[in-house]
Amino acid sequence: MDPNRCPKCKKRLMAMTDRTGRTSLVCLKCDPVDPMQTDAIKWARSSLAVPVKPRA
């Protein structure tokens, strides 16, 4: 049994970080992942998310 695979669907587990900074392995197919509970929302709101258009 591979510890990096989901026991239900056998897909690879992904590392997800929650707001407390803890990282856990989750299955994106079987486990419900709430993007508002992860650091993805911080990245989406950062200046790296939207490209800056050059001024003409």
What range defines the domain where residue 5 resides?
Answer: 1-34
What's the number of domains the chain is made of? 1
Residue 29: its pLDDT value, please?
86
- Decide if 56 is inside a domain: no
Q: How confident is the model over 1-56, as pLDDT tens digits?
A: 678 899 899 999 988 877 677 888 888 888 876 666 666 666 666 666 556 677 76
Structural domain contains residue 22:
yes
Asked if residue 11 belongs to a domain, the reply is: yes
In a domain, 13, yes or no: yes
* Structural domain includes residue 55: no
Q: For residue range 27-41, what is the model confidence (pLDDT) as tens digits?
A: 888 887 666 666 666
Count Cβ neighbours within 10 Å for each residue of 11-50 and write b for 16 or more, e otherwise. eebeebeeeeeeeeebbeeeeeeeeeeeeeeeeeeeeeee
- In DSSP notation, 1-56 reads --TTB-TTT-PBPEEEEBTTS-EEEE-TTTS---GGGBTHHHHHHSTTTSPPPPP-
pLDDT of residue 52: 64
